[in-house]
Amino acid sequence: MEEERIKAITNKAQNPNRTERMSHEDLLQLENFFENFHVYDVYTHTASSTSPWNKGVRKSMVENVKDLARKNLLDPQDERSNGEFVGNDKKIHSLARNELTKNKSIKIPAILLRRLGVLIKSIGRISCGRKSGTCWIVSGRLVITCHHVYRSFMQERREESNPTLPIEVSFDYFYTGQPEHIHTIEVDEDSDPEIENFRLDYKFLRLKENQALEDRDSLGQFVRNRSLDDGLVIIIGHPKGKKMLEETCVVIRKFLWRTQAQRRQISAGLHMTNDNLLNKFEKQGCLPYDTTLFYGSSGSPVFDLNGNIVAMHTQGYTLDLGEDHEVSLMEFGVQFSAIYEDMRRRNFNPEVYFPDYNLGPDEERMDEDSN
């Protein structure tokens, strides 16, 4: 009876030919109805065991919400429905733009793809037995990767009781199941340059001489002294030791990453062995960002939108969702501003390996030939 009464009052109120004022009793009943109106009543369909939550029901519910938005938010006098909001109130437009639309921030300059298309030939999958990571050519036969990746190789040798298990780098690993396109080069451990720091998680290695290295750029010339606190980065590596992938990632401001991670219900630990590195990162060198490239991507170069290397991917938090499915809650890279200064303090002569480290953004052009 109450619903019929409310419907009758509403129909009378919406009658464009009505001349009399609504009664005080009708107004009070409408007011009481709206005070007790439940948010779920905007949906005219209810899912149940007899009416399951199927695709048709969901689609109908979405259309109901759209229809209510048109009726209540757009100007009812505008028969053209051109999107004018009542009272010029554009809050719903801002909500849709900020929360519901595609994140515009993942757009990157198209010309960046030309540079990366050349440089990816110098990024490789480094492995020893079942363990793997990512590395890239700094100069000549020198490559760089994470120190914890190298330590995992030593652990693999111990577990396999094989101290001579080779460490190999595979370049051009772009396609799964096509080994004929891959060039594999063994690490020359007898000439270890001993340029490393386990706290900042970097390790240089030297490859054995191989003709396959001749047409690959030295990426050390693209390392820059640029500490990022926001914006976008590009990560290229071999997640899970498989074919090379690229991902555009949003940088998380340093003072927000812990809150962001907690908001994502973090309950897992670090997926690397050096737990102390996290606290070190908060003091220097930390670059937090969102990415799905973990496990095997450690050592990947992290590019800025100018196509220069500003960090090396190292570690992160992951959350196990079961059924062999994991998500990354927060990932980190160590910025080269920290690595360079550490090498300088240790007399490793970083300017030899990163000759354009202090080159400013106004002193270069991305469209210049990289080689």
Q: What is the pLDDT along the chain (371 residues), one digit of tens a residue?
A: 566 776 677 677 667 677 777 777 877 776 666 555 444 344 444 545 455 555 666 666 666 666 666 666 555 555 444 555 555 555 555 554 444 444 445 788 889 999 999 999 999 999 999 999 999 999 999 999 999 999 999 999 999 999 999 999 999 999 877 777 899 999 999 999 999 998 888 999 999 999 999 989 999 999 999 877 778 889 999 988 889 999 888 887 654 545 554 444 433 333 333 444 445 445 456 777 766 666 668 999 999 999 999 999 987 655 555 555 555 555 778 889 999 999 999 999 999 999 999 988 777 766 554 44
My answer on whether 136 and 255 are in the same domain is no
This prediction's pTM: 0.65
Q: Are 268 and 316 in contact (CB under 8 A)?
A: no
Structural domain ending residue among the three candidates 219, 245, 266: 219
Beta-carbon count within 10 A of 27 CB: 13
* Residue 70 Cα distances to 15, 79, 170, 215, angstroms: 19, 11, 57, 60
Does 46 fall in a domain?
A: no
- Residue 271 is given by DSSP the state S
The candidate with the shortest Cα–Cα distance to 153, out of 135, 124, 131, 177, is 131
**Token pair of 256 as six digits:** 């927000």
Instruction: Report the C-alpha gap between 182 and 197 in whole angstroms.
Output: 30
Task: List pLDDT tens digits, range 138-162.
Answer: 999 999 999 999 999 999 999 999 9
Q: Is beta strand 245-250 parallel, antiparallel or unpaired with respect to 309-320?
A: unpaired
Does 70 fall in a domain?
A: no
Helix H or strand E encompassing 94: helix 91-95
My answer on whether 206 and 225 are in the same domain is no
Does 85 fall in a domain?
A: no
In the chain, the number of structural domains is 2
My answer on whether 202 and 277 are in the same domain is no
My answer on whether 140 and 167 are in the same domain is yes
* Buried-state track 295-315, b at ≥16 Cβ within 10 A, e below 16: bbbbbbbbbbebbbbbbbbbb
Instruction: Report the C-alpha gap between 224 and 311 in whole angstroms.
Output: 9
Q: Are 173 and 244 in contact (CB under 8 A)?
A: yes
List, in order, residues 6 or more apart from 172 with CB less than 8 Å away: 121, 181, 182, 183
The candidate with the shortest Cα–Cα distance to 297, out of 325, 320, 322, 328, is 328
Does 232 fall in a domain?
A: yes
Q: Are 203 and 149 in contact (CB under 8 A)?
A: yes
List, in order, residues 6 or more apart from 62 with CB less than 8 Å away: none
Instruction: Report the C-alpha gap between 339 and 354 in whole angstroms.
Output: 11
Q: Are 210 and 143 in contact (CB under 8 A)?
A: no
Does 5 fall in a domain?
A: no
Instruction: Report the C-alpha gap between 185 and 332 in whole angstroms.
Output: 28
Domain that holds residue 141: 118-219
Does 74 fall in a domain?
A: no
Give 351-355's long-range contacts (Cβ < 8 A, gap of 24+): 352/139, 353/138, 353/139, 353/142, 353/220, 353/223, 354/138, 354/220, 354/221, 354/223, 355/220, 355/221
Does 58 fall in a domain?
A: no
My answer on whether 229 and 340 are in the same domain is yes
Task: List pLDDT tens digits, range 272-297.
Answer: 334 444 454 454 567 777 666 666 68
My answer on whether 144 and 239 are in the same domain is no
Q: What is the pLDDT of residue 227?
A: 78
The candidate with the shortest Cα–Cα distance to 124, out of 166, 170, 185, is 170
Work out whether the CA dihedral 240, 108, 216, 357 comes out positive or negative.
Answer: negative
My answer on whether 165 and 229 are in the same domain is no
**What amino acid occupies position 71?**
K
My answer on whether 237 and 351 are in the same domain is yes
My answer on whether 189 and 304 are in the same domain is no
Q: At what angle do helices 2-13 and 24-35 cross, to 10 degrees?
A: 120
My answer on whether 235 and 355 are in the same domain is yes
Q: What is the pLDDT of residue 100?
A: 43
My answer on whether 274 and 147 are in the same domain is no
Structural domain ending residue among the three candidates 219, 235, 267: 219
Structural domain ending residue among the three candidates 219, 243, 273: 219
The whole-angstrom distance between residue 177's C-alpha and the CA centroid of its chain comes to: 27
My answer on whether 213 and 171 are in the same domain is yes
List, in order, residues 6 or more apart from 265 with CB less than 8 Å away: 319, 329
Does 364 fall in a domain?
A: no
CATH number (domain holding residue 189): 2.40.10.10
